[in-house]
Amino acid sequence: MVAGIGLAPAALGLARTSEPGKGRVPDASRRSFATDVRTAASGVKRAHRSSVAAHRALLRRLAGAKIMVPMSGTFPDRWLLTHVRDGEIGGVIIFAENVSSHLHAAVAALQRAASSRGGHPLLIATDQEGGTVKRLPHAPPEEPASEMTPAIAYREGLAATRALKARGVNTDLAPVADVEHPGSFLGTRSFSGNPTRVAEDACRFAAGLEAGGVNATFKHFPGLGAALTSTDEAVVRIDLSEPQLLRDLAAYRRCSPAMVMVSSAIYPALDRSEQPAVFSSKIVTGLLRDRLHFDGVTMSDTLNAPAASVSNAAVRATNAGVDVLLYTGEEHEATLAMRQILRGLAHGELSQRTLEGSDAPIWRIASGR
C-alpha cells in the first residue's frame, strides 16, 4: 500500500513486473509512479477539504434557518440581504418602523435573496393582534381581543390575513392565547379571563388567519395572563400553581396553530429549576410537545428580554425544543446567534440532529405547505 493514502500500486496501473531481470523499475517509471501517487494524494485531500466545506455550509444553513431578526429601516440593506442569501437568516420580523408603502417590495427583495441560492423561503412575521398592537396601523384587526366573539375573531383573522398577504407577510405573531388574571399587564390583548372563552376565540382567530394562508402563532406559552409586567421589560416570575397553569392552557388543547411562541417568564410550578420557559425542556418538550401533543413550530419570545439575555441563549433554547430563535434588537444579532450555535456544535453541547429536527417544520410553514 502507498503510505498515507491507502492506494496500492496496482490500483494506479503501476504494478511492478516479476519477470527475471526486470525487477528494477526504470528511473522514468519511478518518477511517473511518484507523480501519480502525489496526484492521487492531492485529489484525496481536495475531496476531503470539499467534504468538510460542504458540511460546514450545511451546518450554517441549518443554524441560519432558526434565526429571526429585525430589519433596519423600510428596505433591507446590503448586510441583511447578503446574510439571507447565504442562508444565515431564516426569518425577519417586521415592526412599525419598517412599514411603508413599499413594504411588499422590501419583503419581495428578501425572498428573492433567500431563493437565489436554492434556500427555502423566509418566515416574514409581524405582530398584528388588533386593538393597540398592530404593526400595520391601518390594517385589520380593528377590534382588540377583549371585544371579540368567536364569530368576530374568525372574521378579523381572515381580514388580517388578506392585509398581511398583500404585503408579503406570511406569519402573524397572534393571537394572544393567555388567560387574563387580575392586574395583568395584557389588558385588552387577552380575549378573556375565562379559559374556555379564550380557547374559542383564539382558535377562531387562528382559523381565520390560516384559512387565508398566514401562519397563526399562539403566545405566550405557558401563559403571561398573571404577569404584572411585560417580560420585555423585566424578569417575570409566574407563581400560579400547576393546576392553575394547566387550566389556562385550554386553547392549546382545543386546536393546534402553525406556531407557538414560548415565554421567557419563570414558572416554578412547572420547572423547579426556575429556568425561563424558553430554556426549559420540561416546559417546551415535556409539556407542550409531549403532554399537549403540539407538532408545529415553536419559537422563542425575544431573546433580548432580561431573563433570556445570556451568553448561550441560542444553544439553551434550541436544546429545550425551540425551533425559531427571535431577536428583536438589531439585525446583526444574527451573527451572535450563529456563533453560539456553531460553538455549541463544536463543543458537543448541541447536535446536528437537533438542528435537522427544526429545519423541515420551519421550511414547511415558510413555504405554505
d(CA 350, CA 59): 11
Q: Are 327 and 90 in contact (CB under 8 A)?
A: no
What confidence tens digit (pLDDT) does each residue in 76-86 have?
A: 999 999 999 99
What predicted TM-score, i.e. pTM, was given to this entire model?
Answer: 0.86
Q: Domain ranges for the chain, please list them.
A: 65-70+122-366
Q: At CA 297, angle to CA 290 and CA 312, rounded to 5?
A: 90
What confidence tens digit (pLDDT) does each residue in 195-216 have?
A: 999 999 999 999 999 999 999 9
Alpha carbon 53 to its chain centroid, in Å, reads 24
Q: Which CATH class is domain 65-70+122-366?
A: alpha beta
d(CA 265, CA 226): 11
Considering the chain, what is the average pLDDT of its residues?
A: 90
Q: Which amino acid is at 95?
A: F
Element (H or E) spanning 171, and its range? strand 171-172
What confidence tens digit (pLDDT) does each residue in 51-77 have?
A: 777 888 899 999 999 999 999 999 999
Q: DSSP characters for 82-140?
A: HHHHTT---EEEE-GGG-STTHHHHHHHHHHHHHTTTPPPPEEEE-EEETTEESSTTSS
Query: Under 8 Å CB-to-CB from 36, ≥6 apart: which residues?
Result: 12, 14
What confidence tens digit (pLDDT) does each residue in 83-113 have?
A: 999 999 999 999 999 999 999 999 999 999 9
Confidence of residue 47 (pLDDT cuts 50, 70, 90): low
Q: Are 314 and 340 in contact (CB under 8 A)?
A: yes
Q: Which of 33-37, 255-259, 298-302 has the lowest mean pLDDT?
A: 33-37
Match 528494477 to its residue by C-alpha cell: 24
